[in-house]
Every structure is written in structure tokens, then in C-alpha cells.
Structure 1
Amino acid sequence: MAREAKRWLLTAVALGMVLGTASDGVGEEYKPPRKVPGIRPCPRFAGPSRRVMDHGREAIEMVTKMNVDVDGAPNAYGPPGKKALDIAEHSLSPADAEHPGAVVGYMTEYEGGPPTVQKPGDPYPGYYVSQTDFADKDNPRMEDPRRYVDATKINYLVQGRVARKAGVVMGDYATVYSCRTGKSAFAIVADSGNERGDEGSLALVQALGYPIKDGIDQSVDDPEIVIHYFPKSNPGKTFFKTQAALDEAAAKLGLRK
């Protein structure tokens, strides 16, 4: 989901950040700057991204802040009176989108129509069916919440301009690291709509060690998240129902956190 969340201000403490080397070419082995005990400092380089070799595989590196996306979670949005992970205003596309103000966080019965509501037997009856762009190709039921990537269970990133121009598509793998917490995680690209690409699932920010509970008014406000995208790394569009399955597949591919 594309929206600018209210910012959750983290303590402004520098964790040994040092300047890295700018690089536009492929072939430079990724070498994090000098370590502080337990923490890899964030690299700094010219431009929004650079190409690096990460353990023998080409990657697109980006350093960013991170807003929280809850799309795909069955309890992401709901009618007034139901406790949801986010508010309806955050389900709308931003002003710089192709269709500003359009509902993108959940399914509607028709364009501009009422929300599609989960039925008995669905995970959260009465809540709206929240979607992600990446979906389970083996599940043809469009209104099934389980067809989409659950933001509370799966680490995912929102595809931005940098990733898209580098050939990163829905389902591709990524590794994500926090220069503040020292934690890292495997993730996939599962949603779009935020051209800055500074957005990740609730599960991802929690896996990185941030005590964030929902998508309402919290985010990682400082540019301390290092992303390595791996273009065209999931050609079969494998859909993951658990993070354990995603982690196993990423490790088999030879990726390292």
C-alpha cells in the first residue's frame, strides 16, 4: 500500500556510519564498511542505488527508511467498530500515483464501489479483503484473503521505481538489514504503489527488530534499512504461505542474510 505513515521517531543515535564507495558498475563485491561490534554500518554512496555482487550474485543495493505496509493481512482493514491493523485513509493511493485517491489496500465490489467483505469461513469474517499485487497463482478465488501475501506473516517489500527500473519483478527475493538493530531477514517483493520503495510488511519490520504493532502511525523514520534486491530470482512465481518456507527457498538459492 502506498501512503506516508505518521512517523515513529527513533532515537537519533549514529551507529558508526561511514562513507562507502559509489559504484554504477556490476562486478564490485559487496563489502560492508568497518564493523562496530554486532552492527554492520549502513553504506553510503552516490545516487539512489548501486549494483553490487553479493556472494557471487548480482544485486541492487538501496538504503532507505521504511514505512509499514499491512496489505494482504486478513485483518488489515475493516468497517468502523472492528479493530484493524490500519485505517481506511491509508488504503488510498497517494497524490503522486497514476490514480490518486483510488482504493488500493483492499478489494471493492466494482471500481468505486463498496468493499468486498470476508464471509464465514474466511479468516476474519466482516473485515475487508485486503490484496497484494503478488498472489497465489494456484488459488483462483479472487475474494479469498489467503490468495494474497499476509503482511503479518511474510517479510515483503513494496516495489519502487529503483527496483522496477533494475528489472525487479513481483515475487523476486531480497535480503534486508537494519543498521540500527543489526538484524537481517529474507524477503520477497510482493506489492507496489510506492514509487520511493520505502515500504515493507509489518512482519518484515518486526523481523528487523522494531517494536511496531500496526500500520497506523509507526514507521522507521531514518534511512537505516539496507536492501539487496535480486532481479528475476523467482521466475516460477513461488508463493509462500509461511516465512519458514521463504527462508528455506532463499537459502537453497544461495542467498545469505
Structure 2
Amino acid sequence: MIRTHRMDVDVDGSPRAYGPDGFKTLDVPQDAHSQRRPNAPIVGYMTDHGKPVVQGPSDPAPGYYVSQTTFEDDSLPERDPRRYVDATKINYVVLGDEARRRGARIGDFVAVYSKLHRACVFGIVADAGNPSGDEGSLHLLQSLGYGFHDGRNESVEESDIFVRFYPRSNPDDVFFRQQSKLDAFARKQGISCDFSDVAASKKTLKR
């Protein structure tokens, strides 16, 4: 189990995550760069020869950029926004270096607990690009009880969130579009939301 130092809101994969000036987006363009560094490569949305790939009239959000996640539905074309995990609909976390060392991989199930709100939810590991792993989808943070609305400068700044990883728990890389189906699948896999040891502890756990 890993206790995060903080948890930033990740909106990648949402059809309305990023777009041109004048569009009401969930995040600002600079946050689409790796580790949110201005000069780092763009990882939050798809580009073609340096230009953003824009959604067409038959896509979920025409005119917005095609936002990507590392976990994908391989049955759909790369430019289809539905290929990626929607941060506004699915609980997901980012794969950090520590979790990777412990055997976690993209697509695995997780259980995530907020000590502040005494809430636990199921999710998956759906994105990468931040070595700390201290990022979770907008839907995840909302499901845990945080009143966030987008990815613009919103984060849990305390060490409040615990993530239990289940390595190799999704060997077939089952893709989810509805949280209810993810929850049902996680329960069948034996993923536990029992964080009673954390809830009872008054001491700070080490990562």
C-alpha cells in the first residue's frame, strides 16, 4: 500500500480535457505536458507533426483535442476519443515509480482510500508520466468526497490518500466505460476496500 504525498487531479482521457483558446476545457494546455513542465513533451492529448489532433463532428466533443491515457481500448482507432479512459467517468490512478517497483502495471485494479472522508473506491491504473504517481482522475477524487470540478490547480495537498495496488489483477486488460461495471468486476476479482487498519491508525504511514 502506498500513501500519496498529495494527489493532483488528472483529467486526461476526457473528451473535454483540452482544446483551443475559447473552449471551456477541464484543464489548461500547460498541464498536458509531461509532469506539467512547459518544455516537456505533450502527453495529455494527441498531436500530429506538433499540432493537436482535433475531434470531428461525430466525436463526443467536436473541436476539442483528442486526450489520451496510457491504458487504451485497442479495438478502436487511435484518433477515436473513446479509445481512452475518461477521467470524468472512471476512477483511475497514475502509475508511479514506487508502484511499478512493487509489480503494478497499467490496467491493474486498485482500491483507493481517503482518511479524511473515510471513503474507499475501486479503480484502475490508467495513466503514466508522473514518477511520483501522485495523480488521480477527476472522477476518483469526486468519488472520494472532494469537491473538485476540473483539473485547474486543484489537488489534495495533504498525505490523505492511500492506494492499494493489485498486480496482475487484470491480465486480459478489460476496458471499462462505466464505473458500475468496473466496481462489479473488481469485487469478483476479490479487490478489498477494507482499510480499517488505516482508519484506526493515528500514526503517519511510510510510503
What is the TM-score with the length of structure 2 in the denominator? 0.90
Q: CA deviation at 1:165?
A: 1.1
Map 1:1-257 → 2, pairs under 5 A: 61-64=1-4, 65-94=6-35, 101-110=40-49, 113-139=50-76, 141-257=77-193
Percent identity between the aligned chains?
A: 51
Q: Deviations along 1:120-158, whole A, 9 cap, x unmatched?
A: 01000000000000000222x100000000000000000
Cα distance in structure 2, aligned partners of 1:102 and 1:216: 19
Alpha carbons 2:9, 2:150 under 8 Å: kept: yes
Aligned partner of 2:44: which letter?
G
Alpha carbons 1:79, 1:127 under 8 Å: kept: yes
Cα distance in structure 2, aligned partners of 1:254 and 1:103: 36
Q: How many residues align?
A: 192
Q: Residues 185 and 95 (structure 1 numbering): CA distance in 2 closer, same or farther, change over 3 Å?
A: closer
Mind listing any 5+ residue stretches in structure 2 that lack a counterpart? 194-207
Cα distance in structure 1, aligned partners of 2:12 and 2:40: 16
Alpha carbons 1:108, 1:115 under 8 Å: kept: yes
Q: CA deviation at 1:256?
A: 2.2
Q: Tell me whether 100-109 or 205-214 shows the greater mean CA deviation.
A: 100-109
Q: Which runs of 4+ in 1 moved over 3 A?
A: none
Alpha carbons 1:74, 1:127 under 8 Å: kept: yes
Mind listing any 5+ residue stretches in structure 1 that lack a counterpart? 1-60
Cα distance in structure 2, aligned partners of 1:94 and 1:244: 30
Cα distance in structure 2, aligned partners of 1:256 and 1:232: 15
